[in-house]
Structures are given as C-alpha cells and as structure tokens.
Amino acid sequence: MSNLEQTLSIIKPDAVERNLENDIKAIFKKNGFSIIKEKKIQIEKSEAEKFYKTHETKPFYDDLCTYLSSGPILAMVLEKKNAISANRELMGSTNPDDAEEGTIRKKYGISIDKNSVHGSDSMENAKIEINFFFKD
C-alpha cells in the first residue's frame, strides 16, 4: 500500500497529567491508526528546544520548550493510510477554541499552549520526529 504512512504523535504533559493517555489512544485506534511504537518519557528542555527548532524565532518558543519538558509525555508512532494528514485532522486546530467538534483538541485541549497532542505536519518532519524519539 503505497500511501501507508507513519507519523509522530505526542500526548503532551497536560493530557498525561490528567490521565488521558488511554482515552486518547482509544480515539486513535477507533479511527484506524495502529500504534506501532510508544514510549513514555520526560525530556530535558534542551531536547525540547531541538524538537521545536523550527519555532525558535517565535515569541512563544521558550514557554513551549519549558512546557514540553515540564512533565512526562507519551510519544507514539502511528500508522495508517495518509496518517500524517489524518492525524492532523483528528487532532483539530492548534487553538482548542477553534478546533472542530469531534477532534481531540476540542475534547481535551485547555488552551493554545496546553492543547494535549502533537502531530507531525509533513512527511519530511514525520521522519525527523520519529527518528528523534525512536532512533533504533
């Protein structure tokens, strides 16, 4: 299947802290994603800075990196046909206030910074981000 893709998903600290891991994983499975790999970890701020390097010029970069490294996260490799765009759609808009009904961020997101999930935005970034968390 040529368009079977893998994407990186992260359940962010705000959602792990509220014990939403199983609920969110169930949503992925119900929507046809296979969870190929998963790893629960807490990363250093320096690692978050590397992960979010594309945002380094943004005014929210420092807070974003402090936040991602503030508590445990669940990193996952999700697989599905067109997984990258399918996951972006299922996550919903970056700002939960703008997220569509039925999306993860609409259901669980607290604010634009505590929006519960991350998902890769392109094939290129999916490869880089999967490799970031799952090097072997």
Choose one: 15-23, 35-43, 110-118, 123-131; the region binding ligand IDP (CB under 6 A).
Answer: 110-118
Shortest distance, position 115 Cβ to ligand IDP, whole Å: 5
Shortest distance, position 93 Cβ to ligand IDP, whole Å: 7
Catalytic residues: 118
Report if residue 112 touches ligand IDP, rule: CB under 6 A.
Answer: yes
Q: How many residues does the chain have?
A: 136
Mark out the alpha helices in the chain (DSSP H runs).
13-17, 21-30, 45-51, 61-68, 83-91, 104-108, 123-133
Q: Which residues contact 20 (CB under 8 A, 6 or more apart)?
A: 11, 108, 116
Closest residue to ligand IDP using C-beta atoms: 94
